[in-house]
Amino acid sequence: MAMGATFAFLWQKKYPNSANTYLYALAAGCIAGEGIGGVFNALLQLAGVGGAIYGSNIACPLDSC
């Protein structure tokens, strides 16, 4: 969230007209994409090819995944 807020702040400062036009649409698209990704992950898990079977421990702290 901090990275997104920083990006939005800098965009608003440099290009206020385009930020007012597109920033809310970009944020809504990112939120929708996160939800669609969650649904896709659930479908992969139900199909038996999800991360629990074919995944890796890359970026997991202390191999806790």
pLDDT digits (tens, 9 = 90+) for 51-62: 878 887 787 787
Averaged confidence pLDDT in the chain: 89
Per-residue pLDDT reduced to its tens digit, 23-64: 999 999 999 999 999 999 899 989 988 887 888 778 778 777
- As a whole number of angstroms, the distance between CA 23 and CA 31 comes to 12
| Range list of H helices, the chain | 2-14, 16-46, 51-54
Residue with tokens 């896709």: 40
Is pLDDT of 10 > 90?
A: yes
pLDDT of residue 58: 80
Give the model's confidence band at 1: pLDDT under 50 very low, under 70 low, under 90 confident, else very high: confident
Token couple for 42: 């659930």
pLDDT of residue 2: 93
Let me know: does 60 contact 52? Beta carbons within 8 Å: no
